[in-house]
Chain A
Amino acid sequence: MYKMQLLVCGGTGCRASASAQIVENLNASLKAHGLEEDAQVVTTGCFGFCEKGPIVKVIPDNTFYTQVKPEDAEEIIAEHVLKGRKVTRLLYENPKTQEHVADSKHMGFYQKQIRIALRNCGFINPENIDEYIARDGYSALAQVLADLTPQQAIDMVKQSGLRGRGGAGFPTGLKWEIASKNSADQKYVVCNADEGDPGAFMDRSILEGDPNSIIEAMAICGYCIGASKGLVYIRAEYPLAIKRLQIAIEQARECGLLGENILGSKFSFDMELRYGAGAFVCGEETALIHSMEGSRGEPTFKPPFPAQSGYLGKPTNVNNVETYANIPVIFLKGPEWFSSIGTEKSKGTKVFALAGKINNVGLIEVPMGITLREIIYEIGGGIKGGKKFKAVQTGGPSGGCLTQKHLDTPIDFDSLVAAGSMMGSGGMIVMDEDDCMVGIAKFYLEFIVEESCGKCTPCRVGNKRMLELLEKICNGKGNMGDLEQLRNLALVIKDTALCGLGQTSPNPVLSTLDNFYDEYLAHVQDKVCPAGQCRALRHYFINPDVCTGCTLCARNCPVQAITGEKRQPHTINQEICIHCGVCYQKCKFNAITVQ
């Protein structure tokens, strides 16, 4: 038994900052001090606090070291493990009080969080099934197989009030019940791990940090709906998640937790992986099924729903990773416990990927009903660089922007839809005063145009036309009629597109039109980008009081728009200027201003 464990984050973000080297150095130092019997180094999944990675956490005293470098390993071992003295300089510093926080429980980032789906991420070694089992892993499956009929188990999921975490929030228990009632010789359980929303990485973190929870939940689902086969559709861009899931499946088979007659019951279940190949639309369940069958991932009209006719024409239940991660806990702690968390219609917690212009970028899990203000200012630590908050984009390319006036709205599935956005998979991008909302709408439309599968006309052609209008506006060539046309097009696409991707694609445009109409007006009427982001609308001027006449700008201007005598203030000819900004970057005297 070890007296101490050093947990090192092995998520993608921290690995990018050499966390594997930290593990190696920690082990070498332990050995050098002869402490191998006393302390153990464990590579875990993501802690969520990616902003300050790589993270090393020491238990049992919960010491939380941030931004650790490989060369810090020796000091951690020599001071903390050997002498019991914490390495103060590596502790998290409370930005408000400048005090070092020794115990992670006292960090603002973690105080408001309730971790259900992420319960094991950052605690266990994901490549060792014994550690999952030691934290009650697979006991939910054992309980279900021994004591419950499939219908009783489905009823418990229904009572918990769990709704799908992949986007639309369909009740999970109901979905299982429909699939269970359709009889067939073969049924399938599918896990949607094709996390395509740019800026969301919770599914990847769960698969990397706690892959066994997904296997257990899929087996429970298989028992409930009567399926003996599970398939995980996972992005090929997630090599680490794939590797850890493969290891977990292998170990589960060895332990008899997958395969024939699981735990001595009559239930048999096995799993395999299917790889995505980079198509956002494959997050839509019918498209995902076509992709698993080896075809182009184009969606088809529903009904028939996958629960009736899915993979290879058989009844198929599709849930996403985070939804499955909640399942074992519902059985262990009971549906009443689960439904006591959250709001009236949205139970439990939601994992958000907090990113953008915020101090604490990372993965957070919070109870439904929390306000944006709590997320941004308490967990997120406020806006980066003390800038002014402007908007939060939720739901990725299918969602919309929330503003100042939504800061105190409790967040759940329904309140976000009412505010013109959606939960989506839980991406949450914070924007400050320097972000142009027209530019953001354009960014999402570029994404949609690239990712549209092309099957239905409204999405294929409509979004392209909308993008052209936005480009025109950002280039200062827009007029009032364009704004009207933009809205009309958006509404038509929303009504007529075939699948969820198309129907929600105009949301970023509609919500910015609603909440930031004045910014659109500034672009169209005044030909000004208030945030100074749209290059064609930027105007550069030389302040004659500051300009020294060094000629550096004139020599670098690619179109010779800058003229002036040596040692005399220069001027920019606005008619020739192409707004490239080179002069602004080159000037050593800050004599050039942007308007």
Chain B
Amino acid sequence: MNKLILNDCHKKTIKDICDSFGNKPGELINVLHKTQEHFGYLPEEVQNEVAVNLNMPLAKVYGVVSFYTFFTMTPKGKYPISICMGTACFVRGAEKIVEAVEKELNIKVGGVTEDGKFSVDCLRCIGACGLAPVMMIGGKVHGRLEPGMIKGILDSYE
């Protein structure tokens, strides 16, 4: 991956976030949430900047980022797709939905399409078990899915 170079504006954003939490090491997870909200992901350079501001080793920051699935070090697509693999969706055929999405976009789970439009991930239960199987695209939940519906849904995203 290309090395990202942070400009002063980026650095100031990170510093402001850290300041707003009093630069306390105990606020690391909250800082990372805010930072990811801003940048969309947490590449090494961003993590380093957080480590400098909170005065802790980069290894500790990386340890936390890599521990929690919510944090990601790769950028997401314009429309991030999350397919629910909770038990309720699983027994109602979520695996077939994953296959259909992978086939339609020609990428695997965890990947991003070449044009950066879609990225595909699985998650564990969004609590819409009544609509199983479900997937989320951005903030919108699509429920009662069947493999045959996938193409139409994806085509509706410009």
A interface residue numbers (CB < 8 A to B): 12-13, 15-17, 50-53, 196-201, 204-205, 236-238, 274-280, 291, 293-297, 312, 353, 355-357, 361-362, 393, 396, 427, 429, 431, 435, 440, 443-444, 447, 453
Check A357/B91 contact, CB under 8 A, given A50-B128, A277-B69.
yes
Quick check: B124 and A198 within 8 Å, CB to CB? yes
Nearest Cβ on chain B to A589's Cβ, whole angstroms: 19
Chain A: CB-nearest residue to B144? A17
Rounded to whole angstroms, the CA-CA distance of A297 and B68 in the bound complex is 8
Q: Which of A199, A200, A275, A279 contacts B67 (CB 8 A)?
A: A279
Q: Which chain B residues border A16 with CB–CB below 8 Å? A: 128, 131, 134, 140-143
Convert B108-147 into 0s and 1s, putting 1 for each residue whose CB lies closer than 8 angstroms to a CB of A.
Answer: 0000000000000001111111111010000011110000
User: Which A residues lie within 8 Å of B125 (CB)?
Assistant: 197-201
Q: Does B90 contact A (CB under 8 A)?
A: yes
Tell me whether B30 is interfacial, beta carbon within 8 Å: yes
Q: Is B86 in contact with A198, judged by CB distance below 8 angstroms?
A: yes
Task: Evaluate contact between A429 and B87: CB separation under 8 angstroms.
Answer: yes
Contact A201 B124 (CB under 8 A): no
Q: Do A277 and B68 touch across chains, with their CB atoms under 8 A apart?
A: yes
Q: How far is the CA of A200 from the CA of B142 in the complex (A)?
A: 19
Query: When the two chains form the complex, which single residue of B26, B124, B128 contacts A294, counting CB atoms closer than 8 Å?
Result: B26
Contact B128 A198 (CB under 8 A): no
Q: Give Cα A444–Cα B86 distance, bound, in whole angstroms.
A: 10
Interface size on B, residues (CB 8 A): 39
- B157, CB-defined interface residue at 8 Å: no
* A198 contact from B63, B85, B140, Cβ within 8 A: B85
> A205 — nearest CB in chain B belongs to which residue?
B127
Q: Could you show 25 A-B contacts with beta carbons less than 8 Å apart? A: A12-B128, A16-B128, A16-B143, A17-B131, A50-B130, A199-B129, A200-B125, A204-B127, A237-B126, A276-B70, A277-B32, A278-B70, A279-B68, A280-B124, A293-B26, A294-B26, A295-B28, A295-B60, A296-B63, A296-B67, A312-B26, A355-B87, A396-B87, A429-B88, A429-B91
Task: Report the minimal beta-carbon distance from A578 to chain B, rounded to whole angstroms.
Answer: 14
Q: Which B residues are within 8 Å of any A CB, using their own CB?
A: 24-30, 32-33, 60, 63-64, 67-71, 85-88, 90-92, 123-132, 134, 140-143
A10 nearest CB across to chain B (Å): 13
> Given that A198-B86, A236-B33, A356-B88 are known contacts, is A13 also in contact with B131, CB under 8 Å in the complex?
yes
Residues of B within 8 A of A280 (CB): 124
Residues of B within 8 A of A353 (CB): 129
Q: What's the least CB distance linking B90 to chain A, in Å?
A: 6
Of listed B67, B71, B126, B130, residue having the most chain A CB within 10 A: B130
* Chain B, Cβ-Cβ closest to A356: B91
Smallest Cβ-Cβ distance to A281: which chain B residue: B67
CB within 8 Å for A361 and B69 given contacts A294-B29, A393-B87 = no
**Contact residue among B33, B71, B86, B130 (Cβ-Cβ distance under 8 Å from A53):** B130
Contacts of A429 in B (CB 8 A): 87-88, 91
A residues less than 8 Å from B123 (CB atoms): 237, 278
| Residues of A with C-beta under 8 A to B128 | 12-13, 16, 50
Q: Known contacts being A294-B27, A357-B92, is A201 close to B71, with CB within 8 Å?
A: no
Complex CA distance for A431 and B92, rounded to whole angstroms = 10
> What CA separation (Å) do A198 and B134 show in the bound complex?
13
| Shortest beta-carbon contacts, A-B, top 3 | A50-B130, A201-B127, A16-B141
Residue among A15, A204, A295, A431 having the largest count of chain B Cβ atoms under 10 Å: A295
Give the distance in Å from the alpha carbon of A519 to the alpha carbon of B71 in the complex: 39
- Whether A237 pairs with B70 at a CB distance below 8 angstroms is yes
Q: Are A435 and B64 in contact (CB under 8 A)?
A: no
Q: Which residue of B lies closest to A431 (CB)?
A: B91
> Within 8 Å CB of A443, what residues of B?
87, 90
Q: Give Cα A293 to B26, complex, Å.
A: 5
Which residues of the other chain, B, contact A396 by a CB distance below 8 angstroms? 87
How many whole Å from A594's CB to the nearest CB in chain B? 15
CB <8 Å contact, B33 and A277: yes
Which residues of chain B are within 8 angstroms of A205 by Cβ–Cβ distance? Answer: 127
Chain A, residue nearest B139 (CB): A239
CA distance in complex: A50, B144 (Å): 12
